[in-house]
Amino acid sequence: MAVGLACGIGYPAFAALFAVIITAVLMLYDKVGLFSSKRDSLHKILKITVPESLDYTGVFDDLFEEYTSEVELTGIKTTNLGSLNKLTYDIVLKKPQVEKNLIDDLRIRNGNLEISVSHPMGESAL
């Protein structure tokens, strides 16, 4: 906004200098990691497909307690003409190394149906 105002009132050199300074500061912040936290890199969206016959209430609680520090069920959707449920969880892993172990243990419980883990929208993938 300041660059646009400076250009508008006839100071393009000042606008260019200001743009270079702000860009350098933002690049430094990004490099140093001042705006990111360890929690953000461990924050994931987990989607689990389960058969409709499986009572999903509490079935994964012990696994979540072992592998995650935070978990919240954010969505439930029926698929495949109602024969499957797709559960969406917002989770924070305890350590990045436990992701594969969590998926392997979840596959045992959900009958080896689809499981996906992704970064939340708005975060860049590493």
What is the tens place of the pLDDT at every residue in 63-92? 999 999 999 999 999 998 889 999 999 999
Encoding tokens for residue 58? Answer: 């509490």
pLDDT given at position 50: 93
Over range 57-62, report the average pLDDT: 90
CA atoms of 97 and 90, how far apart (whole Å) = 18
3-state secondary structure of 71: strand
Supply the pTM of this predicted model: 0.65
Nearest to 60 by CA among 88, 27, 24, 80: 88
